[in-house]
Amino acid sequence: MTGLSGHNGRGDVAATVCDGFLALADEWIARAVSDNATSWFRRAIESVRGASDGNALAAAIGIAPRRVGKADLSLTPNDRAQARALRRGLDPSDWTIDQLARSALMVASYAGDDAAFALHFDAFCSTAEINELIALCRGLPVYPAAERLEPRAREAVRSGMKPVFEAVAHRNPYPVEFFSEDAWNQMVVKAFFIGSRLWPIQQHDERGNPRLARMLVDLAQERWDAGRPVSGEVWRCVAPHADAEGTGALVRAFETGGERERLSVALALQHLASQRVDAAFSQQGLRGQLTDLQSHLVTEKIDWTSLA
Amino acid sequence: MTGSPPFGTFTCDAGSLQELLTDKTVVCPCCNGPLTAETLARLLADVQSLASVRKDQPHDGLNGASRNPHAGIIIDPHAHMISRTTDDYEAMAKAGIVAVIEPAFWLGQPRTNVGSYADYFAMISGFERFRAGQFGIRHYCTIGLNPKEANNEHLAEAVMEMLPRFLVKEGVVAMGELGYDEQTPQEDKALRRQIELAKEFDLPIMIHTPHRDKRAGTLRTMDVLKEHEFDPTRCVIDHNNEETVREVLDRGYWCAFSIYPQTKMGSDRMATVVENFGPERIIVDSACDWGVSDPLAVAKTARLMAQRGISSDAIHQVVYANALAVYGLNGEMDEQHWLAPAAIDQRTLYEGNSVLRGGQMPRIEQPGRPADDLFIT
C-alpha cells in the first residue's frame, strides 16, 4: 500500500498504520481461534485486497462472525500498548474477535484511491446491519482516508442505536481528531439523551468549550423542571467553562443533588481555581462542605469511572 | 382412546410399511380397495398425532405437566415489527415471546425504487433489531423480493441484483416472503430465481401463500419448489388454512398458520388443526403488521390450546420448537441467544428478557391502553 493520504499521516506513515493493524489483527485472531478459522480469515483478507467488487467484501464482512466467532478479544496489557504504539488513541480493549476481523477486512479492501475507498465505505455502511455498523465504526481510527469518512462518523453519532453511537464516541480517537466543535458538542449532549456515559470519550476535557457548557446547563434546567435526575458527568463539562448561570447551576446541583451528584460537582471543581465559583459556594455557606467532599474523593480514590 | 399408546415406538413411515407389507395387502374396511403403504402411513401418523396431543390432562397454565424446562416461552416466527409500537414489544415480552422473525414483505404501499428497498432491508436488520433487544426480544429477519412488488419489473430486477449483499447478513434466517400474489409470470420468475438463490446461499425459505386462489396457488408454489428440487424440510409454507394443511404436511413442508382472526385463521380453528393433525411441523405465527392483527396472537392461541387440553409439549412444539428447528437451520437463530446471551450482547444489544430472568409464568396483556381508557379533551 503506497500513496496513502488522509488522517493517518501520508504515504508511508499511513501505510504503516494499515499494515501494522493488519499484522496485529492476524496475530490476535490466529491465537484466539481455530486453525480453520484463521485460514478462512487469511483467505478472506486476500480475497478483498483491492477488490473492486463490493459483493466479495460484503460477503466476507457478513460472514465473519460465523467463521471467527464473537467472543471478546481479551487483550493483554502488552497488546493494548502495541495498539497505542501503532496509532495514538487506538483502544480495542473491548472489541470482539469478529469486530476486529471486520475492521481488518475493510482496511484490506483499500485499493490506493482515497475517494474510492470513502465511497465504498459509505455505501457499505448504508447497507450494514447493526453489528456490522458497530464493528465498522470501531475501526474508524485505522482506515485510510480517515477525514473523508467524517460524514459517516457523524451519521453514527446521530443514530438512535446506542451501541452504534458508542462505537464512535467511546474509546475512539476519531471524534477528538475530526469533529468540529458543533459536531463534538452534539455528540456529548446526545450521550446524555441516550443514557450513555462521557468518561469513555477520549480527551473530552480538552474539547470542552463554553457553548457546550451552556447547552448542558440548559439540559440540567430541563431535567430539574421535569423532576428528572441529572447525570453527574454534566458538571465535568460545565465546571471549567461556567459563566454566571453555569456557576449557579453548579451550586444548585451541589445544594439539591443526591450524594453522587454532589460528589460529581466536587470532582468537577477539584482542580479548578475559580474566584467566581469560590464566591458562589461561600455565599451559600457551602464552601466547607465542598472542600470536605473533595478530600473524601482523594482519600477514597473516587474518579469519574466510579461516579458514572 | 384409553390405555397405552396403540403403536408403541413403531415408525409408521411409508418405507417401514413398504417393508412390512411387501407381498401382503391391507384392505380398506369401507370400500374394500387395497391400502397403499403411503395411505396407511398417513392414517397411522394421524392416529399417533392424536395420541400425542392428548397426552396431558387439561390444565390452565402453559407450564402444566411439561417435561420441558422452557415450556411457556414463545417464538413468533412471522411478525412485521416495524409496524408495531413499543407497547406491543412490552406486551409480547410479558407474554413470554423471546424471539421474533421479521420477514421482508411489502409496506402496504408499493416501493418505487431500489433505494427504499435497501433502506428497508437495512432497517429490519438494523434499527428494528436494536429496538426489539431493548425489550428483551431477539429479532431475526428474512430477506427477499415479495411477490407483490415482483410485478414492478424494473424494481424487481434492481432488487434481485442487490439481494446477495443482504443474504449473508447476521440474523438472516431465511429467504422470504417468497411466493405468489396474483400468480403472474413476473411473480413466477422472481420466485424461481430466488429459490435458486436460497440454494446458493444455503438458506431456508419462507413461502407467502396467496390470499386469492389460495389452494391452487399453494399447490403451484410447492410444484415449483419441487421442480427446483428444493428440500421441503428447509421450507415453511405460511398462511395456511384447513384447505391447504393436508397437502402441505403430506409433501413434507413445515406448515405455518398466521392467526389473523378475521381473515386467515382464528385461535380456535388453530387449536382444532393441532388436535386433528398433531404438532409435527406445524407452526403458529401472528403475522402482525399494519393491519388489524394481534402481536399476542401466538400467546393467546397457546393459552387457548392449553385450555382445550392440548399437551404442553405439543403446544411448545407449535409455538416454539418447530420454528426454532427450521429457522435455526443456517445457525443464525440459536436458543442460546436468549437463554445464555453472549457477553458482548449483554453489553450492547440485548437488555435481557424479564420473563427468563424472573422465571415467572408469562402473562398475557393487551398492548397499550384500551380505547375506553382514552380521554380526548
Q: How confident is the model at residue A307 (pLDDT cuts 50, 70, 90)?
A: confident
Contact B343 A66 (CB under 8 A): no
User: Does residue B332 share a domain with residue B223?
Assistant: yes
User: Does residue B192 share a domain with residue B126?
Assistant: yes
Give the pLDDT confidence of B218-257 residue by residue, as tens digits.
999 999 999 999 999 999 999 999 999 999 999 999 999 9
Mean pLDDT of chain A: 92
Q: What chain A residue is nearest to B201 in terms of C-alpha separation?
A: A59
User: Does residue B109 share a domain with residue B22?
Assistant: no
- The pLDDT value recorded for residue A296 is 93
Tell me the domain boundaries of chain A.
12-158, 210-307
Residue B368 lies in a domain: no
User: Does residue B19 share a domain with residue B149?
Assistant: no
User: Does residue B311 share a domain with residue B229?
Assistant: yes
- The pLDDT value recorded for residue A216 is 97
User: Does residue B244 share a domain with residue B97?
Assistant: yes
For residue A137, list chain B residues with Cβ-Cβ distance below 8 A: none
The one-character DSSP state at B58 is: P
**Left (φ > 0), alpha (ψ -120 to 50) or beta: where does B359 sit?**
left
For residue B166, list chain A residues with Cβ-Cβ distance below 8 A: 127
- The pLDDT value recorded for residue B169 is 95
Residue B139 lies in a domain: yes
- How far is the C-alpha of B342 from the C-alpha of B336, rounded, in Å? 8
User: Does residue B303 share a domain with residue B178?
Assistant: yes
Which residue, chain included where needed, has cell 469511572? A305
Domain that holds residue B35: 14-53
Cβ atoms within 10 Å of A191's Cβ, excluding its own: 23
Mean pLDDT of chain B: 85
Q: How confident is the model at residue B92 (pLDDT cuts 50, 70, 90)?
A: very high
For residue A133, list chain B residues with Cβ-Cβ distance below 8 A: 126
Residue among B118, B171, B343 whose CB faces A127 most closely = B118
Give the pLDDT confidence of A93-114 residue by residue, as tens digits.
999 999 999 999 999 999 889 9
Please tell me the distance in Å from A297's CA to the nearest CA on chain B: 28
Interface check A272 vs B, CB under 8 A = no
Contact A129 B170 (CB under 8 A): yes
Contact B168 A134 (CB under 8 A): no
User: Does residue B48 share a domain with residue B164?
Assistant: no
Average pLDDT over residues A5-13: 51
Interface check B342 vs A, CB under 8 A = yes
Identify any residues that bridge with B75 across adjacent strands, giving them in sequence order: B99
Give the pLDDT confidence of B256-288 residue by residue, as tens digits.
999 987 777 889 999 999 999 999 999 999 999
Q: What chain A residue is nearest to B332 in terms of C-alpha separation?
A: A66
- The pLDDT value recorded for residue B373 is 38
- The pLDDT value recorded for residue A7 is 46
CB-based contacts of B238, cutoff 8 Å, min separation 6: B78, B176, B177, B206, B207, B208, B209, B256, B257, B258, B285, B287
For residue A131, list chain B residues with Cβ-Cβ distance below 8 A: 170, 349
Q: At CA B293, angle to CA B163 and CA B247, rounded to 5?
A: 65
Q: How confident is the model at residue B372 (pLDDT cuts 50, 70, 90)?
A: very low
Q: What chain B residue is nearest to A133 in terms of C-alpha separation?
A: B126
Interface check A132 vs B, CB under 8 A = yes
Model confidence at A59: pLDDT above 90: yes
Interface check B290 vs A, CB under 8 A = no
Interface check B127 vs A, CB under 8 A = yes
Give the pLDDT confidence of B159-196 residue by residue, as tens digits.
999 999 999 999 999 999 999 999 999 999 999 999 99
For residue B143, list chain A residues with Cβ-Cβ distance below 8 A: none
- The pLDDT value recorded for residue B172 is 98
Interface check B241 vs A, CB under 8 A = no
Q: Say what percent of chain A tops pLDDT 70.
A: 95
- How far is the C-alpha of B157 from the C-alpha of B176, rounded, in Å? 17
The one-character DSSP state at A199 is: T
Contact A132 B129 (CB under 8 A): no
- The pLDDT value recorded for residue B26 is 77
Model confidence at A10: pLDDT above 70: no
Contact A129 B168 (CB under 8 A): no
Please tell me the distance in Å from A158's CA to the nearest CA on chain B: 13
Residue B126 lies in a domain: yes
Q: What is the CATH number of the domain that holds B213?
A: 3.20.20.140
Residue of A227, A268, A228, A263 whose CA lies nearest to A246 = A268
User: Does residue B112 share a domain with residue B24?
Assistant: no
- The pLDDT value recorded for residue B16 is 73
Average pLDDT over residues A49-55: 77
* Cβ burial B49-81 (10 Å sphere, 16+ → b, else e): beebbbebeeeeebbbebeeebbbbbbbbbbbb
Q: How confident is the model at residue B362 (pLDDT cuts 50, 70, 90)?
A: very low
- Taking a contact as any Cβ pair under 8 Å apart, which residues of chain B between 153 and 182 contact chain A? 162, 164-166, 168-171
ipTM, 2 decimals? 0.86
Residue B6 lies in a domain: no
Average pLDDT over residues B342-366: 59
Contact B171 A129 (CB under 8 A): yes
- The pLDDT value recorded for residue A50 is 73
Please tell me the distance in Å from B104's CA to the nearest CA on chain A: 14
- The pLDDT value recorded for residue B32 is 73
pTM tops 0.95: no
- The pLDDT value recorded for residue B42 is 76
Please tell me the distance in Å from B345's CA to the nearest CA on chain A: 10
Contact B168 A160 (CB under 8 A): no
Q: What chain B residue is nearest to A53 in terms of C-alpha separation?
A: B165
Residue A123 amino acid letter: A
Residue B363 lies in a domain: no
Give the DSSP per-residue string, B108-134.
SS---SHHHHHHHHHHHTTHHHHHHHH
Give the pLDDT confidence of B120-153 residue by residue, as tens digits.
999 999 999 999 999 999 999 999 999 999 999 9
Residue B65 lies in a domain: no
Domains contained in chain B, number:
2
User: Does residue B299 share a domain with residue B178?
Assistant: yes
Identify the residue with better confidence: B33 or A142: A142
CB-based contacts of B30, cutoff 8 Å, min separation 6: none
Give the pLDDT confidence of A237-269 residue by residue, as tens digits.
999 999 999 999 999 999 999 999 999 999 999
User: Does residue B101 share a domain with residue B213?
Assistant: yes
User: Does residue B166 share a domain with residue B45?
Assistant: no
Interface check B340 vs A, CB under 8 A = no
Residue among B127, B166, B171 whose CB faces A127 most closely = B166
Give the pLDDT confidence of B43-69 residue by residue, as tens digits.
777 766 666 665 544 444 434 445 566
